[in-house]
Amino acid sequence: MISARALLRVVCVGALLVVVAGAQAQAEDAADPSPVATDFEITVEPSSEADSSDGPGAADAAVAPESDEDSPAAEVSILRRDMSLETDQTYVDGDKVIWTDKGAYIDGDAFIRFENMTLQADEVWTDLKKALRAKGNVRLTVDEEITYADELVFDFTTKKGIAQGGAAYGAPWYYQGYEILRVSGTESLIKDGILTTSSLKYPHTYFRASRILVNLGEEIIAKHVVFIIGGVPLLYLPAYRRSLKEKKPAAIIVKVGSDSYQGNWTSIQLPLVRNSRVRSVLQFDWSSVRGTGQGFETKYNIRDVNARMIFMPYPENATPEDQTALKRNAQEINSRLRGDFNRQRVQRLFVPFELTEDDIRRDRARAQDAVAALEAGETAFGDLASAFSDDDATKGNQGIIGYLAPGDGVLLPQVEAMVMALEYDEVTPLIETPAGSYLFRVSDVIRTRGRIEKQVQVIFIAIQASDDAKDATRESVEDLIREAKAGADFSAMIEERGGTIPRSALTISEGESLMLDPPTEVWLQLDDFEWAQRRAIRDMESGDISAAIELREGMLVLRMIEEEETPDFAALATEISAHESAENGGAIGWTGPADVPRQVYNSSRGLEEGQVSSVIDTPEGFYVVKSEGRRNIQGEATIFRKDLRSFGRAETFRTGTEWDMEFRHQQDIPMGWERRGKRVAFWTRLDFGSRTFKEGLGQDRSELRAFGVVTYDSSPTRPEDLTPSFRSRLTVDKTFDFAEGTGTVQRLPELTGSWGGQLQRVWGFRQLHRWMDDVADTVEDWGAGPLRFPTLVSTTFSLDGSLANLFRDKFRYSESVRATRAARGLGEENTQDVYLRTLDVGMTLRKESSLEISSTREVKLSMDGSSQVVWHGADQKGNTNILRGVFSGSAGASNNLFRVYDIGWVPGASRLKHDVTTSVNFDWAPSVNDTEPDPDNPDPELVKLYPFGSSTYLFERKFVSLNLTSAFQIKTRQAETINGLTLSLRTSRDFSEREALGDRKWEFISGTGRFSPLASGNLSGTLNASWDPNTYGPTSTIQRPPFSLVQFSSSVRYRSGDFRKGWSTDFGTQYQRLTGRARRNLVFGFDWRPSRLFQIDVDTRFEYDRNRL
How confident is the model over 431-456, as a mean pLDDT? 87
How confident is the model over 896-916, as a mean pLDDT? 89
One domain, residues 382 and 435: yes
Low-confidence winner among 34-38, 369-373, 383-387 (lowest mean pLDDT): 34-38
One domain, residues 71 and 193: yes
How confident is the model over 634-658, as a mean pLDDT? 88
Given its phi and psi angles, is residue 940 left (phi above 0), alpha (psi -120 to 50 degrees) or beta?
Answer: alpha
Q: What is the pLDDT of residue 466?
A: 87
Which of 462, 484, 515 corresponds to the end of one domain? 462
Residue type, 900: V
Give the residue ranges of DSSP H helices in 338-436: 357-376, 381-388, 413-420
Q: What is the pLDDT of residue 132?
A: 82
Does residue 896 sit within a domain?
Answer: no
Is the pLDDT at 64 greater than 50? The verdict is no
Is the pLDDT at 298 greater than 60? The verdict is yes
Q: What is the pLDDT of residue 666?
A: 93
Confidence bin at 516 (pLDDT 50/70/90):
low
Q: What is the pLDDT of residue 889?
A: 92
d(CA 442, CA 426): 6
Q: What is the pLDDT of residue 954?
A: 67
How confident is the model over 516-530, as a mean pLDDT? 79
Q: Omega into 172 within 30° of 0, i.e. cis? A: yes
Is the pLDDT at 664 greater than 80? The verdict is yes
d(CA 483, CA 490): 9
How confident is the model over 831-853, as a mean pLDDT? 89
Does residue 794 sit within a domain?
Answer: no
One domain, residues 531 and 620: no
- Of these ranges, 158-162, 354-358, 802-806, the one predicted with the greatest mean pLDDT is 802-806
352 closest CA partner among 202, 476, 184: 476
E strand intervals along 738-815:
745-758, 795-812
Is the pLDDT at 67 greater than 50? The verdict is no
How confident is the model over 494-519, as a mean pLDDT? 78
Segment (H or E) for 349: strand 343-352
Is the pLDDT at 70 greater than 70? The verdict is no
What CATH number is given to the structural domain containing 170?
Answer: 2.60.450.10
DSSP 297: E
One domain, residues 388 and 324: no
Segment (H or E) for 324: helix 320-337
Low-confidence winner among 103-112, 201-210, 432-441, 800-809 (lowest mean pLDDT): 201-210
Given its phi and psi angles, is residue 339 left (phi above 0), alpha (psi -120 to 50 degrees) or beta?
Answer: left
Quote the Cα angle for 13-18-19, to 5°: 80
Domain range for 384 is 357-462
pLDDT tens-digit readout, 782-802: 766 666 778 888 889 999 999
Q: What is the pLDDT of residue 169?
A: 67
Question: What residues pair up with 863 in beta bridges, in sequence order?
Answer: 847, 891
One domain, residues 158 and 234: yes
Higher pLDDT, 984 or 668: 984
Q: CA 132 → CA 160, 216, 684, 959, 1041, distances in Å?
A: 11, 22, 68, 85, 88
Task: Tell me how many domains the chain contains.
Answer: 4
Is the pLDDT at 642 greater than 90? The verdict is yes
Which of 243, 263, 296 corresponds to the end of one domain? 243
One domain, residues 209 and 70: yes
Q: Give burial (CB, 10 Å; 0-12/13-18/19+) of 375.
A: exposed
Confidence bin at 42 (pLDDT 50/70/90):
very low
Q: CA 32 → CA 41, 45, 63, 548, distances in Å?
A: 16, 21, 14, 88
Task: Say how many residues make up the chain.
Answer: 1109
Q: What is the pLDDT of residue 24?
A: 38
Does residue 522 sit within a domain?
Answer: yes
Q: What is the pLDDT of residue 28?
A: 38
Do the beta carbons of residue 399 and residue 442 sit within 8 Å?
no
Is the pLDDT at 69 greater than 60? The verdict is no
What CATH number is given to the structural domain containing 504?
Answer: 3.10.50.40
Task: State the sign of the Cα–Cα–Cα–Cα dihedral 717, 471, 795, 952.
Answer: negative
One domain, residues 327 and 348: no
Percent of the chain with pLDDT strictly greater than 90: 26
Is the pLDDT at 51 greater than 60? The verdict is no
Which of 630, 650, 681 corresponds to the end of one domain? 630
How confident is the model over 702-719, as a mean pLDDT? 81
Whole-number mean pLDDT of the chain?
A: 81
Query: What is the per-residue burial (b if ≥16 Cβ within 10 Å, else e) of 112-134?
Result: bbbeebbbbbebbbbebbeebbb
Do the beta carbons of residue 109 and residue 8 sit within 8 Å?
no
d(CA 1049, CA 935): 44
How confident is the model over 987-1011, as a mean pLDDT? 85
1072 closest CA partner among 1049, 1052, 1050: 1049
One domain, residues 573 and 512: no
Does residue 109 sit within a domain?
Answer: yes
Does residue 254 sit within a domain?
Answer: no
Does residue 36 sit within a domain?
Answer: yes
Does residue 663 sit within a domain?
Answer: no
Question: What pTM value is reported for the model?
Answer: 0.58
Is the pLDDT at 61 greater than 60? The verdict is no
One domain, residues 508 and 392: no
- DSSP symbols for 1046-1062: EEEEEEEEEEEE-SSSE
Confidence bin at 441 (pLDDT 50/70/90):
very high
Q: Give burial (CB, 10 Å; 0-12/13-18/19+) of 33.
A: exposed
Is the pLDDT at 129 greater than 90? The verdict is no
Confidence bin at 54 (pLDDT 50/70/90):
very low
Residue 782: φ, ψ to 5°: -70, -15
Percent of the chain with pLDDT strictly greater than 70: 85
Q: What is the pLDDT of residue 318?
A: 80
Low-confidence winner among 292-301, 391-400, 459-468, 769-778 (lowest mean pLDDT): 769-778
Q: What is the pLDDT of residue 799?
A: 93
Is the pLDDT at 179 greater than 50? The verdict is yes
Does residue 574 sit within a domain?
Answer: yes
Low-confidence winner among 555-564, 671-680, 1020-1029 (lowest mean pLDDT): 671-680
pLDDT tens-digit readout, 733-767: 988 876 666 667 888 899 999 999 888 888 778 77
Q: What is the pLDDT of residue 185?
A: 59
Is the pLDDT at 1085 greater than 60? The verdict is yes
Beta-carbon contacts of residue 457 (< 8 Å; ≥ 6 apart): 381, 382, 385, 394, 398, 399, 400, 401, 440, 441, 442, 443
* Other Cβ atoms within 10 Å of 863 Cβ, number: 16
702 closest CA partner among 660, 743, 737: 737
Is the pLDDT at 155 greater than 90? The verdict is no
Q: What is the pLDDT of residue 138?
A: 86
Q: What is the pLDDT of residue 1090?
A: 83
E strand intervals along 973-1018:
977-990, 1005-1011
DSSP 157: T
Do the beta carbons of residue 384 and residue 459 sit within 8 Å?
yes
Q: What is the pLDDT of residue 462?
A: 87
Do the beta carbons of residue 294 and residue 286 sit within 8 Å?
no
Higher pLDDT, 1050 or 939: 1050
E strand intervals along 72-116:
90-93, 96-100, 103-114
862 closest CA partner among 827, 833, 890: 890
pLDDT tens-digit readout, 1018-1034: 899 999 999 999 888 88
Higher pLDDT, 73 or 363: 363
One domain, residues 388 and 525: no
Measured distance between the N- and C-terminal CA atoms of the chain, rounded to whole angstroms: 78
Residue type, 662: E
One domain, residues 127 and 46: yes
Residue 1032: φ, ψ to 5°: -100, 140
Is the pLDDT at 814 greater than 90? The verdict is no
pLDDT tens-digit readout, 307-334: 999 999 998 888 888 888 898 899 888 8
Q: CA 928 → CA 362, 423, 875, 882, distances in Å?
A: 62, 86, 12, 11
One domain, residues 454 and 534: no
Q: What is the pLDDT of residue 965?
A: 95
Q: What is the pLDDT of residue 981?
A: 92
pLDDT tens-digit readout, 232-258: 787 788 888 777 665 555 678 888 777
d(CA 211, CA 234): 19
Q: Give burial (CB, 10 Å; 0-12/13-18/19+) of 931.
A: exposed
d(CA 364, CA 864): 49
Segment (H or E) for 602: helix 598-605
Is the pLDDT at 624 greater than 90? The verdict is yes
